[in-house]
Amino acid sequence: MAGGAVEEIVRRAGGCAVIDGGFATQLEALGADINDPLWSAACLITKPHLIKEVHMQYLEAGADVIISSSYQATIPGFLARGLRLEEAEGLLRTSVELALQARDEFWKSTLRKSKPVYNRALVAASIGSYGAYLADGSEYSGSYGEDITTEKLKDFHRRRLQVLGSAGPDLIAFEAIPNIMEAQALVELLEEENIQVPSWICFSSVDGKHLCSGESFADCLRILNTSDKVAIVGVNCTPPQFIEGIIRELKKQTKKAIAVYPNSGEVWDGRAKRWLPAECFGHKSFDVLVKRWQEAGASLIGGCCRTTPSTIRAVSRILKGRTAYTASHQI
């Protein structure tokens, strides 16, 4: 399968590729209002130019992989907003196109520079969990209620996966998956739809030892290991202090490449819709932890919510051993 692009970017990055940082976080920093059922995906309707700007800022910071704005972009979510089906599907494609445009424009501009220090980045199409769509806090508990089945989850994810998969991304990034039932649904769906774009499936954890649901990584990895369509596994939107232990656990359970992109350590209050202060150290700790994550076995490292381009600039500098990138490139 087409996992070659991932191996290539990891190799070109010097053994560990850099993923971008908090996408929604940086949209907010640029003035977007994402207090919305669609969360960061609301900007696909209201402020698409900001989406491209955020991608550009992460590319400048040194990201080898940028993640599209589709985390909470769902067809039912857009329909509930009064959009027609064609418009909803069009916005999903737009999310990938904006990232591809940013990647191509940025790459062209760096080729003109005498001393290129960047790689041609890959674009990962983001797919958030069913719980992210529900926006009721269940993306961090994995509790979807008794009526939810693997088949229902497959039906929820099917059309978005088809549309995003055919929009030209280099990867599909399933982000912050909270339970095994959803992982099982995704593995089956990738097979049923015969998706040719390599995928990563990343989980979130609130205790550093289990998925958010309380289920074990070992049980979960047994399912993911059966799929050739899943090129990368990992963890995202999880406090930095838990990451090293999770990498070591994943390493025991799989031969697949491992991606980690923790949040700042702040905790999302799904009901109040706000971030609560970090219980331990925050994104500044990435400076000391990144090398340890690489040594523990991660081959893609970045940041998730509440991390910023400056976090990613530091990650890139540490992993690639290059002088800090200057943010001189204008869009």
Ligand X SMILES: C[S+](C)CC[C@H](N)C(=O)O
Interface pick for ligand HCS out of 28, 170, 175, 244 (rule CB under 6 A): 175
Cα gap 206→217, rounded to integer Å: 13
Interface pick for ligand X out of 39, 106, 242, 261 (rule CB under 6 A): 39
User: What crossing angle do the helices spanning 180-192 and 217-224 adopt, rounded to 10°?
Assistant: 0
Q: Known binder of ligand: residue 305? A: yes
Contact flag: residue 305 with ligand X (CB under 6 A): yes
From ligand HCS, ligand X, Zn ion, none, which one binds at residue 273 (CB under 5 to 8 Å depending on kind)? ligand X
* Closest distance of CB 31 from ligand X, Å: 18
DSSP class of residue 278 equals: P
Q: Known binder of ligand: residue 280? A: no
Q: Is 27 helix (H, G, I), strand (E, B) or coil?
A: helix
18 phi and psi, to 5 degrees? -100, 125
* Closest distance of CB 39 from ligand HCS, Å: 7
Cα gap 289→107, rounded to integer Å: 29
* Closest distance of CB 169 from ligand HCS, Å: 14
Contact flag: residue 56 with ligand HCS (CB under 6 A): no
Contact flag: residue 293 with ligand X (CB under 6 A): no
Contact flag: residue 95 with ligand HCS (CB under 6 A): no
Cα gap 292→276, rounded to integer Å: 26
Residues 6 or more apart in contact with residue 142 via CB below 8 angstroms: 131, 178, 179, 182, 211, 212, 213, 214, 215
Could you list the residues known to form a binding site for Zn(2+), using ranges. Answer: 237, 304-305
Question: Which residues contribute to the site for ligand X (CB under 6 A)?
Answer: 39, 72, 132, 135, 139, 176, 237, 268, 270, 273, 305
